[in-house]
Amino acid sequence: MSQKTLQNYIPALTGVRALAAYLVFISHYEYAFDESFPHSVKRFLQEFHFGVTIFFVLSGFLIAYRYYNNFYLTADWFKQYLKNRVARIYPMYFFLTIGAFIYYYFTGDAQVTAGFAHPFGLMLMNITFLRGFFNDLKFTGIAQGWSLTVEECFYFSAPFIFLVAKKYNKFYIQPLFVTGLGALLVLVFRNFIWYGFFGNFTFMMVYTFLGRCFEFFVGIQLALIIHKKGVARSNNLLYTYIGILMVFICPLIMSLLSIPKGWSAGLHNPWGIVTNNYLLAISIAVFFYGLLTETTVLKKVLSNKFVELLGKSSYIFYLIHLGYMYRYLHDGVNWLNDKVFEWYDKWGIAWHSPFEYDALNLLYIFIILNGISILLFKTIEEPLNHYIRKSDFLIKNKDANKVSPQSPGSATTVHSK
């Protein structure tokens, strides 16, 4: 790595994506350790949803590093910018969301629709990301897809954030304005019965861009620091390890907070929101700064070729780790367990089944989900990404051989000034 500028590709930041996705996975399935983990440890694991915050800070950093000094609010520039975002985010989300509603058609699983009376209309709200603005609908379709509404709002807003910051020198006031706008929407709509559209402050602060914007702004600020100072260091502090320690202190704090009635984690406590949206975001930026400027064992692990592949496929893993694909795998493991005991009864033996332990079954499913993610990445996501970028979608591709830099999801790419 250059002592003054950042190299074009940072494998460790791609590896971080896998780490973030796995943290979210742990937060959703901590109950599998009921028999062996004390309650305090399970509460700690339950707060590992902070992987989503890692994604948000990383997106802010990558988009700002790529575009802050290279944006032009012309129609063609904006079309190309949106084309790049769509190429990375949308195809797999679209296909997997359609899959969720096909699954609902055959199974009637109420988790897909949350009791919404019009499944087709709800499907349209899911594939257009609109469901993420409604508290009652945020977990419909692909439940974890609510975070993509947040991401898309940032993608649309980023060029204007950069414009205001550069032209009017108004950077730090912007997150206050954006969050204030969210609070105003809650004050206006909280008394309307409209599927929870900005229905309360907790929803706004945890599940919308207006409440989560500070995390992206922290990533942007890190990019501006790197732009200005490069990666040259004047001290010997190990920011990588200081940052990762700070990062894991935050879920510990949230695990000690009371869970408000009607919610599911310490994150939803007002102090949990402050910890997650603000303190955690800053801690993640410190961690990223270490990865960008230091050579550590952790950086080498995150830069490993296999971990890099896991990071590239982590977007698909994130989309499938919760929902219909997981349920099919879970049912399959239970079927195998029943079959094993049928064979034992037939043979007259009394052995343990390799599929009778919840924690072990979760490990099997985790491995299979990663395999499916890699397969879908290699056969569908990556080819479609390249195809859309080279196509005439939104804007005519003047030179098919000059493909624009990859967006932050597929391979974590940054460019120096």
Give the pLDDT confidence of 134-147 residue by residue, as tens digits: 999 999 999 999 99
How far apart CA 372 and CA 103 sit, in angstroms, is 18
Supply the DSSP string of 357-371, one letter for each residue: -HHHHHHHHHHHHHH
Count of helix runs (H) and strand runs (E) in the chain: 19, 0
How far apart CA 90 and CA 80 sit, in angstroms, is 15
pLDDT of residue 9: 67
Is residue 391 pLDDT above 50, yes or no?
yes
Residue with tokens 């204030």: 180
Select from 10, 96, 127 the least CA-distant residue to 316.
Answer: 96
Q: Which residue type occupies 230?
A: G
Indicate the pTM of the whole model. 0.92
pLDDT of residue 311: 97
Task: Return the half-sphere exposure (C-beta side, CA atoms, 13 A cut-off) of residue 284.
Answer: 34
pLDDT of residue 284: 98
**Structural tokens at position 202:** 């907790």
pLDDT digits (tens, 9 = 90+) for 294-312: 999 999 999 999 999 999 9
Mean pLDDT, rounded, for 105-133: 95
Length, in residues, of the chain = 417
Is residue 34 pLDDT above 80, yes or no?
no
pLDDT digits (tens, 9 = 90+) for 259-301: 999 999 999 999 999 999 999 999 999 999 999 999 999 999 9
Q: Which helix (H) or strand (E) holds 375?
A: helix 358-376
Is residue 406 pLDDT above 90, yes or no?
no
Local structure of 197: helix, strand or coil? strand
- Higher pLDDT among residues 1 and 156, named by residue: 156
Residue with tokens 């055959």: 106
How far apart CA 151 and CA 219 sit, in angstroms, is 13
The answer to whether 131 touches 146, Cβ cutoff 8 Å, is: yes
Residue 197 pairs with which residues in a beta bridge?
134
The answer to whether 54 touches 213, Cβ cutoff 8 Å, is: no
pLDDT of residue 5: 53
Supply the DSSP string of 244-293, one letter for each residue: HHHHHHHHHHHHTSPPPTT--SGGGSHHHHHIIIIIHHHHHHHHHHHHHH
How many Å is the Cα radius of gyration of the chain? 22
Supply the DSSP string of 151-177, one letter for each residue: HHHHHHHHHHHHHHHHHS--STHHHHH
Confidence of residue 399 (pLDDT cuts 50, 70, 90): low
Select from 203, 73, 99 the least CA-distant residue to 149.
Answer: 203
Q: What percent of the chain has pLDDT over 70?
A: 93
Q: How many CB atoms lie within 10 A of CB 321?
A: 23
pLDDT of residue 371: 98
pLDDT of residue 415: 36
Confidence of residue 400 (pLDDT cuts 50, 70, 90): very low
Residue 305: is it exposed, middle or buried by C-beta count within 10 angstroms (0-12/13-18/19+)?
exposed
Give the domain ranges of the chain: 11-390
Task: Return the half-sphere exposure (C-beta side, CA atoms, 13 A cut-off) of residue 148.
Answer: 29
pLDDT digits (tens, 9 = 90+) for 37-83: 788 899 999 999 999 999 999 999 999 999 999 888 889 999 999 99
Mean pLDDT, rounded, for 183-199: 94
Confidence of residue 6 (pLDDT cuts 50, 70, 90): low
- State the chain's mean pLDDT as an integer: 91
**Structural tokens at position 372:** 């499916």
How far apart CA 23 and CA 52 sit, in angstroms, is 9
